[in-house]
Amino acid sequence: DIQMTQSPSSLSASVGDRVTITCRAGQSINTYLNWYQQKPGKVPKLLIYAASSVRSGVPSRFSGSGSGTDFTLTISSLQPEDFATYYCHQSYDTPWTFGQGTKVEIK
């Protein structure tokens, strides 16, 4: 199985901050990497697919980059509605695997 490791596990940030979350794969996964946002008690929501493709309707402050084993999700200017947990997900090979999540909290 391909292990996915996110860092940090949690972070505190203020509205307007630039936030970067990192995801590292245990082996090269090309660009088969997706990012999801999950708010407490809510359903996960796809933000980014194929490492850098922003899903339609997702605010432009969200961006993704990377290839191979190292990936980043960047929120350029954190908004109140962005406080949530973010998960990376590899779709290079089954079993699909997720990172452990990064919780973004209000500072």
Shortest Cβ distance from residue 63 to other proteins (Å)? 16
What Cα–Cα distance (Å) separates residue 20 from each residue in 6, 50, 74? 11, 18, 4
H or E segment and range at residue 103 = strand 102-106
> Smallest distance, Å, CB 35 to other proteins?
9
CB 102 within 8 A of CB 10: yes
Which CB atom, from 16 or from 57, has the smaller least distance to other proteins? 57
Residue numbers at the binding site for other proteins (CB under 8 A)? 1, 31-32, 34, 36, 38, 43-46, 49-50, 53, 55, 87, 89, 91-92, 94-101
